[in-house]
């Protein structure tokens, strides 16, 4: 039973991670330093989509399922839990492009602020200023 709980928990973490990949850049509008972990997560998400590398969360879920006497996923996480369930498979490319667009939009404000700060001569854009005015 413990392995089944681990498999289910992995699914929850996987959903959360996917949400973070798509929407995790928006908190950087308020907290600029949050862009860096999101950049890494988005890069990993992109690598999973464009290469044949297995996501460690899918590997963990499959291992836990096998240990708990359940069938492993026959396809990847997105193919299993999203394609054909949340949306028809024929919309996969469109949804990938929309997700990428969401990531790029989320990065637009922090990057614009960073460029404006550099133009204004701020050597540390996004950091609070503690000097005297």
- Would you say residue 133 has pLDDT above 50? no
In a domain, 124, yes or no: no
pTM score? 0.81
Point out which residues pair with 9 in neighbouring strands.
Answer: none
Q: Answer for the pair 80, 73: CB distance below 8 angstroms, yes or no.
A: yes
Check the CA dihedral 96-92-85-88 and report its sign. positive
Domain membership of residue 60 as a residue range? 2-119
In a domain, 10, yes or no: yes
In a domain, 127, yes or no: no
Which is nearest to 110 in space by CA: 32, 23, 42, 21? Answer: 32
In a domain, 100, yes or no: yes
Q: Which two tokens stand for residue 91?
A: 């919309």
Number of domains composing the chain: 1
Backbone angles phi and psi of 127, in degrees to 5: -90, 145
In a domain, 103, yes or no: yes
Question: What does the pLDDT look like over 58-67, one tens digit per residue?
Answer: 999 999 999 9
Q: Among all chains, which residue has been given the structure tokens 């997105």?
A: 78
- Would you say residue 129 has pLDDT above 80? no
Question: What does the pLDDT look like over 24-51, one tens digit per residue?
Answer: 999 999 998 999 999 999 999 999 888 9
In a domain, 133, yes or no: no
In a domain, 130, yes or no: no
In a domain, 125, yes or no: no
Rounded distance, CA 77 to CA 96, Å? 14
């Amino acid at each position: 039973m413990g392995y089944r709980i681990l498999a289910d928990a992995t699914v929850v973490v996987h959903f959360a991670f996917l949400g973070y990949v798509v929407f995790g850049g928006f908190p950087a509008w308020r907290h600029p330093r949050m862009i860096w972990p999101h950049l890494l997560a988005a890069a990993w998400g992109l690598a999973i989509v464009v290469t044949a590398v297995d996501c460690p969360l899918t590997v963990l879920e499959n291992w836990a399922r096998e240990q708990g006497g359940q069938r492993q996923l026959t396809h990847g996480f997105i193919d299993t839990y999203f394609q054909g369930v949340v949306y028809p498979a024929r919309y996969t490319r469109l949804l990938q492009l929309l997700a990428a667009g969401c990531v790029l939009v989320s990065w637009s404000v922090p990057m614009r602020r960073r460029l404006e700060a550099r133009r204004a001569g701020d050597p540390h854009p996004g950091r609070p200023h503690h000097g005297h005015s």
